[in-house]
Structure 1
Amino acid sequence: MIDIQSIIPHRYPFLMIDQILEIEEGKWAKGYKNVTINEWFIAEPYNCMPSMMIVEALAQLGAFATMSQENSLGFLSSLNGIEFLGNAYPGDRIELYYEVVKNRRGFVLGKGKATVGNQVIIRAEEIMIYIQGS
């Protein structure tokens, strides 16, 4: 099992990845987030995970895919081409995938998608992460 907290500094309540399933360092990563009714962001009238929190989960996965040093920090730098196609509700498992497109001078450009079951709920054409200390 991969220790997520040894690589990225996020902790509860802002750690949005529960498990890393597979990784090819510097190229791509797969992980998931289980949405539970006890999440701090689940509230009436919208009992679903906010879409931007799922985008944050993709960014965290992207930082994880590219950071191999404990002293590095990854920051979400920019987004482009984000499509919100569905929602994730308590009881859902969000499958996350981030693929590195470019990695130059600490700026990592990648694309990602989040799915629930077989339905894509978020597609991101560009998620840029700045890795400090790399």
Structure 2
Amino acid sequence: MFDIHHILKKLPHRYPFLLVDRVLELELNQRIKALKNVTINEPFFSGHFPRRPVMPGVLMLEALAQTAALLSFESMGADLTDDTVVYFVGIDGARFKRVVEPGDQLILEASIERVKGGIYKYKTRASVSGETAAEAELMCTMRRVG
């Protein structure tokens, strides 16, 4: 659907913390499917763990949150501005079901469950080859800063 150049226009994250490489599918105000290529040169692999590199679960949740933020920004037709950020306000039901290693393609999916009082609630899932790696309900809000 769109590439890294479009993602950089929508999200404030930059290397090494940008965790979405491509958007594969998007239905405005409903759902998104994105891709993260997991490579051995990711900075966290040198310490997590040197003999058996594993992507940290919290980074899978962050990748899901970035994917959800892309869905919201695209749905609103909003471009990245220096005064708008998306913050986590809650993570419910987080489960980690599969190890993610270098060479995996992490598929990131988020769907909007509801929007109320400026709080977005998403159902999210990260998978590798159709097998669930992580899932959670994420709650985020957008705020102007500065």
Give the Cα–Cα distance (whole angstroms) in 2 for the partners of residues 69 and 77 of structure 1.
21
Task: Name which of 48, 61, 66 aligns with 1:60.
Answer: 66
* Structure with more of its chain in helix, by fraction: 2
Q: TM-score, normalised on structure 1?
A: 0.92
1:128 aligns with 2:131: no
Alignment size in residue pairs: 132
Indicate the SS of the match to 1:26: coil
Residue by residue over 1:27-73, the C-alpha shift from the partner in whole angstroms, topping out at 9 and shown as x without a partner, is 11100101101000112144011111011000010111011312332
Residue identity over aligned pairs, in percent, reads 32
Q: What is the aligned-residue RMSD (CA, Å)?
A: 1.3
Which of 102, 106, 111 is matched with 1:99 structurally? 111
The secondary structure found in structure 1 opposite 2:33 is strand
**CA separation in 1, counterparts of 2:96 and 2:11?**
26
- Structure 1 residue 69 and structure 2 residue 78: aligned? yes
2:101 is paired with a residue whose SS is coil
The aligned residue for residue 9 of structure 2 is 6
Q: Normalising by structure 2, what TM-score?
A: 0.85
Residue 16 of structure 1: CA displacement?
0.6
Structure 1 unmatched runs, 5+: none
Instruction: Describe the SS at the equivalent of 2:93.
Output: strand
Pairing of 1:77-116 with structure 2 (within 5 A): 77-116=89-128
Runs of 4+ in 1 over 4 A off after TM superposition: none
